[in-house]
Amino acid sequence: MKSLWLFAFSMALLSGACQNNMKDQTSSNTKKPMDTSYNKTEEEWKKILTPEQYYVLRQKGTERPGTGEYNLTFDKGSYKCAACGYELFSSDQKFDSHCGWPSFDAELGNGDRIKKIRDTSHGMIRTEIVCARCGGHLGHIFDDGPTATGQRYCVNSLSLNFTPADSSKTK
C-alpha cells in the first residue's frame, strides 16, 4: 500500500514537471490563463469536429498542400478557430505564399491569441502555432514572409472557419 502511495506521489510530481516544461517552451504571450471551458476531453472534441478537423486540430495533422478550402480565398472577412470560434486572422493579413496552405503575415490581437511552441518533430526544428484559447493545432510559423512583418503563419484550412465581411456586419 505504501509503495502505491509513493507511485502516485511520483506521478503527480512528474506530471507537474511536464506541465512546467510545456510552459517554458511557449512564448511570452501566455500571461493570461487559458479559459478552462475550452479544455474538452478528446471524446468531446470528436463529437464537435469532423474526422478531418480532429486529425489536424487535435492530432497535429497536416492537410495536403493545395487542397484546403481557404488556400486561394482572398475575400474580405475574418478567420476563426474551427474548434472554438476564436477570431485569429483578418483577410487583410492573408497573402498568397504559393506554398499550398493559407498564409498570413500577422495575427489579430496583441499576440495573445496564438501560442508558439517549439516543434522538433519529423527531424526539423519549427515553431508550431496553436489557438491560445482551445489549444487546437493551426500549423507553423516561419520568418521568411515577403511582407514588412517578415512572418508567414502557415495554417491548415481545416483549422479555420471563414466569415465573409458582409455577413459579419449583419451579426
Q: Site residues (CB under 5 A) for Fe ion?
A: 81, 83-84, 86, 131, 133-134, 136
Residues 2, 8: Cα–Cα separation, whole Å: 10
Instruction: Report residue 81: phi and psi, to 5°.
Output: -60, 130
Q: How far is the CB of 155 from Fe ion (least distance, A)?
A: 12
Q: Indicate the residue among 7 and 159 with the shorter CB distance to Fe ion.
A: 159
154 is catalytic: yes
Catalytic residue, from 84, 131, 134, 154: name it: 154
CB 58 within 8 Å of CB 81:
no
Q: Which is nearer to Fe ion, 88 or 154 (CB)?
A: 88
- Residue 139, beta-bridge partner list: 129, 155
Q: What is the nearest approach in angstroms of Fe ion to the Cβ of residue 68?
A: 17
Task: Write down the least CB distance from residue 63 to Fe ion, Å.
Answer: 17
Smallest separation, CB 85 to Fe ion (Å): 7
Q: What are phi and psi of 151, to 5 degrees?
A: -100, 145
By C-beta, is 94 or 133 nearer to Fe ion? 133
> Which H helix or E strand runs over 111?
none
Q: Which residues of 132-163 are buried (b: 16+ CB within 10 A; e: fewer)?
A: bbbbbbbbbbbeebeeeeebbbbbbbbbbbbb
Q: Which is nearer to Fe ion, 134 or 154 (CB)?
A: 134
Residues annotated as catalytic are 154
